[in-house]
Structure 1
Amino acid sequence: MTDSAVLTTFEEHRSTLFGIAYRMLSSVADAEDIVQDAWLKWSALDVDRITQPRAYLARTVTNLSLNKLQSATAQRESYVGPWLPEPLVTAPDAPVAADAGDVVEQAESVSLAMLVVLETLSPLERAVFLLKEVFGFSFAEIGGMLDRSEAAVRQVGSRARSHVQARRPRYDAPAETRRAATEEFLAACLGGDMNRMMELLAPDVTVWSDGGGKIRAALRPLHGPDNVVRWTLGVLARYLPGQLGVHPVNVNGKFGVLITADGVADDVLTAELDENGLISEVRLIRNPDKLRHVTVPEAPTGE
C-alpha cells in the first residue's frame, strides 16, 4: 500500500477514532493526542497485512486511552471542586468537523450529561460500553481488542449498560424548548431579574461549576433555586456592564452558550430541563484550561 493510501485509510476512520478517545477521556486535547499517537503507530505498520483497519485502529485508540486514563484518574482525585468534561464547542448551524467525532449522529452519547455518567464507570466498563453501544462492535470483536473472552466482555457490557440506564438523564427536552429556556434564563441573569430566574428553575435544580481552582467557581454543587440565583448574581456582579458577550453554540451536539469576557472565552454553559420545561440541571465550565481550544464566534449578542 502506498503512503497516500495508508493516510487515506486512516483518514476514513479518524472521526470514529476521535469519537472513541473523546468519550473515553472527556478531553478534546487528549483525544487529539491519542489520535496522533495512533497515526504514528499505523504509519509504521505493514498495513497490507491488516484485514480490518477500523477494528485494528479502534483497538489501538482504546488501549491508548485506557493507558491515559490511569494518570487522568489520579489527577481528578485531587481536582479542586466539581469536575466536568472538556466541552466540544461548535457553531450552532455549522456541520461538525470530521475530527470532532460523530456528534450529530450520536449527540446523546457525547452530551455532557452522558459523559458525566460514563465517568462513573470503570475504565474497562466504559470501553466495552462505548465500543458496543455507540460504535457497534460485536462482543467477539471487543474481546479481541481488549484481550478478554467474549463471555467476559459480554458480562462487563451488561453491567455497564444497566449502570448507564439507571443514571442517564430522565428527560431529553426538544432542541427548541431547551434553547428558549436557556436563553430566557441567561437574559434574566444578565438583567438581574431575580424573580424571573426563580420562575425558570425547577425546585430540585442543581448547578455544577468547574473552575479547577483557577477561576471563581462553587466548590460544591449548588442545590435549589435560591442558592443558584444568589450565587449566579454574585458571580455576575464581578463584571462591568457590557463586559460579557453571549454566543449561542452547540456544546457536545446540543444547544449551549459560550460566554465571553472582553472577547475571551470565559464560560461554557449547558442546561437540562424537566418534563415541565423548567431548568433542572446546569453545567458551567469555567476552567480556562478546558476552554483553550474554543473558538469565539465573530458576532455575539450582548456585547
Structure 2
Amino acid sequence: MTLSFYKVLPLEANLRATPRLLPTNVLTQLQQGQLVQRLPAAVNQPSGWLHVRVEGMGGSGPVEGFVKAFLLQKAPSVLPPSAAVLPAVTVPPARLIPPGPVTRTQTEGRAFSLQEAGQPGRPGPTAADKVRQLTRILEFLDVEHSVRYRPGKGLTYCNIYAHDYCHLAGAYLPRVWWRPTALAQLLAGTPVSAQYGTTVVELNANSLYNWLEECGSIFGWRRTFSTTELQAGANAGQVALICGQRTELNQPGHICAVVPELPRYPAARHGTEVTIPLQSQAGARNFRYGGYAWWKGRQFARFGFWLHD
C-alpha cells in the first residue's frame, strides 16, 4: 500500500483532536515543511479537513489528529520519518558548579541547582516509593514559603522551581544550556566546560519549551498529548511537566510540575478523562497543589506535556 504524505504550508498549523475549530482541541503546532501521513477519513469527518498521523513529536510516538486541508500540500511518496536512520548524538548536560551551598533561603544563586544537606531524592525502587518521594520533594521545596521562588520586582521563578523539582527527582531539566558555539564544539567532540555567559546561558520558560521539544528525548523526556496520561504518569511516580511558550517572546512563558494526586488534592476529571491535572508551581502565585488550564490561554503560542521515568 502506497503511503500518502502532505507537507505543512504555513509557518505553523494546528493539529487538532477533532475536526472542529475550537480553542480547546489543539494538540500541538506543526511547523512549515513538516510531513504528515494522510489517514482514512474519520466517521462524520466534515469536508475541508484531513485526518493525519505525525511522527517524531518530541520523543512521543505517532500522534493522530486533524488539520484544515488548505494548510497542507501533497508531497512525493517518501518513507515515514521514523524509518530514517539518524546518527546517534551525545550531548552532555550543562551544569554550573556552585561555589558553595545553594539553598531555598537564598535569593542569589538561582543559576545553580540546589545543593543542601539532606535534600530528598527519588531513588524508588517501586512506583509507590517514587510517589511518596515526589510528595516529600514538594514538602521540602515548600514553594509557598521558600525565598528562592518568591516573586518580586516584576520577576517570577516558575523555571527555577520546575528545575529544582526535576533536579531532586533525578530528571534533567536544564537551568543553563550550551550556547551555539559551545554546542557545535561538543558535537564535534571537543570538550567544553560550563562557564556562565561564555559557554552557557540561563533558560527561561519560553526557552525551556524549545529545549524540551528539540533535546528533551535525548535526556529521557517523552512527550504526551493527553492530560489523562500525564496525570497517570505522575500518579505512578514519574516526573511530569506542562510548558507553555508565549506568542510574544519578550513576555514570560510558564512551566509547572504535574504531581501525584492526594485525597485532599485530586485532579479535575470529566468521567474517566483528566481535564485539569494536579499542578505545583512558582509564578505570580506560588502553590504546592492546585492548577487550572492556563496553557489554553490565547497568550500562549504553543504548549506541551512531558513525562520522565
Which has the larger helix fraction?
1
TM-score normalised by length of structure 1 = 0.28
More strand per residue: 2
Greater relative contact order (CA < 8 Å, ≥ 6 in sequence): 1
TM-score when scaled to structure 2? 0.28
